[in-house]
Chains A and B, each alone.
Chain A
Amino acid sequence: MISFDLQYFQPNTIEDAINIYEQFISENKKPIYASGGTEIISRARRNEVQPDAIIDLKNIPGFHKCEHKAGKLQIGSAVTLNHAATHSNFPLLKTVIQSIATQTARNKITIGGNLASSLPYREAVLPLLLTDSTIVLATPKGAITKNIHDVFPFNEHLKELELMMEVHLDSKLIKHPHFWIKKTKQSQINYPIVSVAAMHIDNEIRIATSGLTANPLRMKQLEKDILQAVEIEDCLDQIESYLPSPIIDDMIAQSDYRLFLFKQIIKDIAINWKGAS
């Protein structure tokens, strides 16, 4: 049960959504965009988030596309995880998504919601980071397109009135060989201690990870190291120095165990890739 009062809006256009958001900001109030609402409801119960307004994006047609068009896979931010898993035809995305939360929750959680989550994991972003996706943002001045590496994590890079509308990625990339592993404290359904997604694209290996640090990461330097390494072990020692923030140390796992698992996964991926190429 949510104890505080809030206003609820269900606009039909992006313009309306942004206008409502802007209105609340101008009144020094806290609006929040929502679609699935799983995080908002569960956290508002405990007053961990206390929005003055919820702007529900479900009714806006432009947020629901999930199709291959003009050589691009295009997914709207209000597409649910389960819908994206079954309709994107992107094997890695399907695998990654299906390890998030539960079937019931995935019927509600959306791609945009997962990417904008306040939790560190946001695993749906990993395949998008690997495929160098672009993000279409709704802004008061209209839609703009940006490279995902320039706007993710959203909490650090998005401006106040920018809202993720769609993600686009090259359709040619989706069938490349992939690798996915998620290590948990115990039950598979738990949040990851660390999870790693990798793809083999044009004689390269691409690696992205979640759970290791405060934000999901694309590990470009590590990818290069693996490409050049004679011995896999040589790459592993450098890993810590590539991380932009400390390794998470919390009730799910201590940092030394996290790092141990991450290195082990990287080793497996690298050996696997060397064997394949």
Chain B
Amino acid sequence: MKQPFTYIGKDIKRIDLAEKAQGKVRYTDDTNIAGMLHAKLHTSTEAHANITEIDISKAWEIAGVHAIITGEDFPFPVGPMLADRPPLAIEKTRYYGEPIAIVVADTEQQAKRAAEQIQVTYEPLPIIQSPREAMKKDAITIHENLGSYKVQVEGVHAVPGTNIANHTKIRKGDIEQGWQQSEVMVESSFSFSPADHAALEPRVARVEILPNGKVMVTTSTQGPFYVKKLLSEFFQIDAGNIMVHTPFVGGAFGGKGTVQLEFLAYLASRATGGKLVRIANSREEDMVTSPVHIGLEATVKLGARSDGTLTAAHYEFLFDGGAYSDMGAGMSKAAAVDCTGPYKLEHVSCDSYCMYTNHPYATSFRGFGHPELTFVMERMMDLLAKKLNLDPIQLRLNNLIKPGDTTPTQVHLNASNIGDVRACLQQVKKSIQWDEGQRTKTTDGKIRTKGVAAFWKTSSTPSNATAGVLLTFNTDGSVNLNCAAVEIGQGTKTVLAQILAEKLQLDMNKIHVTIEVNTMYDPHQWKTVASSTTYLAGRAVIAAADDAIRQLLQIGSVALKCLPDDLAVGNGRIYLRDSPEYFIPIKDVATGYKYPNGNTVGGLIIGKGSHVVRHLTPIDPETGFGKPGPQWTVGAQAVEVEYDPTDCTYRILQAATALDAGKVINPIAARSQMRGGMYLGLSWASRETFVFDDQGKVLNPQFRTYDTLRLSEIPTYKVDFIETPLIDGPYGARGIGEYGVIGMAGALANSLSHAADAELTELPLIPELIWKTIKGEV
């Protein structure tokens, strides 16, 4: 029998709806504080050069300047995985747009004017613009002291003397045997340049250092506790003395999962004796100076039997991590551990590298290496299908991974830790009307084609990733939910409230969620990334609710003169299970139960709960053996385009997703989440990229030239969910946040390759690229 739910699985409107719809939300930079100083950066005009002199004398002549800070003021490298990046460039600059100096002044205009007066003398160095160039034996070394950098996270393998910031190796089975079993082989190379996250809200941070030493930070981040952790580690501040406050975040897409401006704002405040200093990115700085979406060059070889059964695969991923490793090192690992996509392969080898180049440095992007690896693998599957003359969906169905199989890092899959990718692929086949033809011609000479992609992803969480929840009760019996999950527009706080409503059987209106995060009041949480919040914080909500219920029953049993076991909690009451008409309202016990004579027992009800991932391990440096993440969410996507062969332009007609969500907690929100993901994936795949000149300068750091998909160009979206419960997920739910993005580039490229009858291997898929591919110029 299906368990009936009251709040889970219901289309509940998001709790921040009214504020957002009315424009009443205050984001980080919507606050003007009297006496606040403003910081502006002087950034590098060179992509790779020795800095021989920084002349700040003219900048000091500008009125209102309080401080000018250069790399020498803090000559220590920082970074989340490998500490390789000085917050301000020192001795050399490694990318165009890199921060070189900060000016702090009374007004933003003064700060900007003074920053422009700083004169930097450069001695140009050879510029590396691609990861393959960076790999060459004779390539200039971008980080001469790579061997001396401190490894922050176990499992980052930099190779001193080279441009390799991380090398992850996968060796599963016996690749030679795999090739011998192969009757057909396909090999191809793929590439795309770095791009932007393009969040509407540019990054911004404020820092003040109080006379008692407390460091007060307000910042637009996905990881308030992460900011606290890194500030503490790199600036030797006691963690307890750092407070990080995060209001609503106006879009992040992974780009606010790392720490950059917070370091600079801290240095700026410190240089002014602790004054409150704000640093806010211009759009151009947000695109180029702050970290970007990673680029990739990949070469893949796939072997199969003539019936299409995959036998062996070798992957070489060269990620364009840019000038500093940041989360790029992690993404190169994440792409390696899931390199095969959701397919059964006994013999796998993969060398995945995060390469230093002279591009802006990369950080996490929604999907964390998976939209990237999936583009590559799904193109390979279509190439193989073409070579074998098999239907692309049939080839995939023949090879899908399932319980009983193992992943590239040899994790055994079971009925819980992986979803049903077969059901997803079959659903998406139906949604896109595959059987009506993969390629049809319209009466006006256009070509309509469909392309598919199957995908999977596990979360690359640290092995101690955690979240906590605190519940307090109001005198009206309503509950306050405090949790450090960050609302970045994904609706996480609504979902957490639903889980609590279900547990307490309490109306959603009686649940008050603190949307802002403050590390002083909220329990610790790793970050709001990796599609992990419903799982981590959702489990913490359940634990906290259980804790509160236990207390309510205990006090209730006193009030109702029975045993706690006789009672249940629901509808704002504690009631007798067998006679619900005997009850006491929660409001009468929430702050202590008072007898008629005034005696009171019980005190405050405070529910607490936390959850931590379990049994994760670092992976073996030689074979990749290990458990990288808690579970694999799987799905399939398809795209239909209408292609005009006369000029290689196209329209995206339909995009479909079928995802195994485990349990959908809020269907309308989950569908929106998938639509948003498809939008992001299609925008990236069809038009988003930075354009570099031959000096490594980004030519399009503005929305007038950095193209994104417009509302008038979006396709019809189709979303379906499969529900294979994750046994330890909250109500069976799996992480779904990033997944709408993952298969889009692969599905679009497959669709267009069929349409143009040309094998597209690069992104973004602009008409000119298709034209050149047809002409054989790619």
Contacts and interface: CB of A to CB of B under 8 A. Distances in A.
Interface string B690-706: 01000000011000110
Contacts of A186: 686-687, 707, 764, 766-767
B647 A185 contact: no
B359 to A, nearest CB: 15
Contacts of B399: none
Interface string B110-140: 0011001000000000000000000000000
Nearest to B766: A186
A200 interface: no
Nearest to A193: B768
B710 A189 contact: yes
B113 A251 contact: no
Given A188-B710, A251-B705, A183 B647 contact: yes
Interface stretch (A9-17, A56-64, A253-261): A253-261
Nearest to B108: A1
Contacts of A190: 707
A3 B713 CA distance: 37
A47 interface: yes
A251 B699 contact: yes
B712 interface: yes
Nearest to B650: A186
Contacts of A185: 687, 707, 766-768
B236 interface: no
B708 A261 contact: no
A251 B766 CA distance: 12
Contacts of B112: 1, 3
A221 interface: no
A118 interface: no
Contacts of B108: 1
Contacts of B620: none
Interface residues of A, number: 25
Interface string B279-305: 000101000000000000000000000
Nearest to A189: B710
Given A3-B113, A187-B708, A253 B700 contact: no
Nearest to B113: A3
Contacts of B22: none
Interface string A144-163: 00000000000000000000
Nearest to B708: A187
A102 to B, nearest CB: 10
A242 interface: no
Contacts of A42: 704
B723 to A, nearest CB: 37
A191 B700 CA distance: 13
A107 interface: no
A257 B767 CA distance: 10
Interface in A44-60: 45-47
Contact of A264 (B646, B686, B766, B768): B646
Contact of A257 (B113, B686, B771): B771
Given A186-B687, A251-B691, A251-B699, A1 B109 contact: yes
Nearest to A186: B687
Contacts of B691: 251
Contacts of A260: 771
B508 interface: no
Given A4-B113, A186-B687, A257 B709 contact: no
Contacts of B113: 3-4
Given A253-B768, A254-B768, A264 B647 contact: yes
Nearest to A267: B646
Closest 8 CB pairs of A and B: A186-B687, A251-B691, A3-B112, A3-B113, A257-B768, A251-B699, A186-B766, A187-B707
7 contacts: A185-B707, A191-B705, A193-B768, A251-B700, A251-B705, A260-B771, A261-B647
Given A186-B687, A193-B768, 12 more contacts: A1-B108, A1-B109, A2-B109, A3-B109, A3-B113, A185-B767, A186-B766, A187-B713, A191-B705, A251-B691, A257-B772, A260-B771
